[in-house]
């Protein structure tokens, strides 16, 4: 606290400014001293600038080296990711081909299990409305029973779409892992 008070007192009395003002008066007393002071300040400024540039150069070289290292690391990571996704896409393509190959057998089994069997025509009210009496007899009272007829060509299109969608779903699941 004592030094701070001494500094404040020096500022108030002007004693702190005595030696810089005396130096300035001495330098400006002759033109040669003024030019010499300017030359010394210019040399000091040039030396400081050289030092800053040298430090900046070292810093920039280090930053460039770090940037190159990060770029090469990013390229390696990108190459690994592309390889992974290329392998996943190849596996998905094989899965799709396998599902398509199994499609005929799967479709034949589905058609055999769900083929509509036409019963002998009866003249009951349910038959007149298009209902199958055998199905309606087994249905619970709260169930809605409907008969749907789908052509085999539509079933083949649905099966091909199923194979594609299933392969895409499996591929998406593997990407998420």
130 sits in the region (left: phi over 0; alpha: psi -120 to 50; else beta) called: left
Q: Is residue 111 part of a domain?
A: yes
Q: Is residue 55 part of a domain?
A: yes
Q: Is residue 90 part of a domain?
A: yes
Separation of alpha carbons 106 and 143, rounded Å: 28
In total, how many domains does the chain have?
Answer: 1
Residues in the chain: 177
Structural domain harbouring 151: 19-175
pLDDT tens, residue by residue, 119-154: 555 544 444 445 555 555 555 555 544 556 677 788
Nearest one of 147, 169, 164, 163 to 106, comparing CA atoms: 163
pLDDT tens, residue by residue, 61-107: 889 999 999 999 999 999 999 999 899 889 888 988 888 888 778 77
Q: What percent of the chain has pLDDT over 70?
A: 72
Separation of alpha carbons 152 and 159, rounded Å: 10
Q: Is residue 9 part of a domain?
A: no
Q: Is residue 123 part of a domain?
A: yes
Q: Is residue 5 part of a domain?
A: no
Residue 123 has a CB neighbour count (10 Å cut-off) of 6
**Between 160 and 82, whose confidence is greater?**
82
pTM above 0.95, yes or no: no
Q: Is residue 12 part of a domain?
A: no
């Amino acid at each position: 606290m004592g030094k701070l008070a001494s500094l404040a007192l020096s500022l108030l009395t002007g004693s702190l400014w005595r030696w810089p003002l005396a130096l300035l008066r001495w330098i400006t007393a002759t033109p040669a001293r003024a030019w010499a002071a300017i030359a010394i300040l210019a040399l000091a400024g040039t030396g400081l600038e050289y030092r800053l540039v040298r430090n900046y150069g070292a810093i920039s070289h280090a930053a460039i080296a770090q940037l190159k290292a990060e770029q090469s690391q990013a390229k390696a990571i990108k190459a690994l990711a592309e390889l992974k996704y290329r392998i996943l896409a190849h596996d998905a393509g094989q899965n799709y081909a396998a599902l398509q190959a199994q499609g005929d057998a799967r479709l034949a089994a589905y058609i055999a299990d769900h083929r509509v069997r036409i019963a002998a025509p009866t003249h009951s009210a349910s038959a007149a409305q298009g209902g199958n009496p055998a199905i309606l007899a087994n249905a619970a009272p709260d169930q809605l029973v409907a008969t749907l007829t789908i052509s085999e060509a539509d079933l083949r299109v649905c099966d091909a779409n199923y194979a594609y969608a299933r392969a895409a779903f499996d591929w998406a699941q593997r990407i998420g892992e």
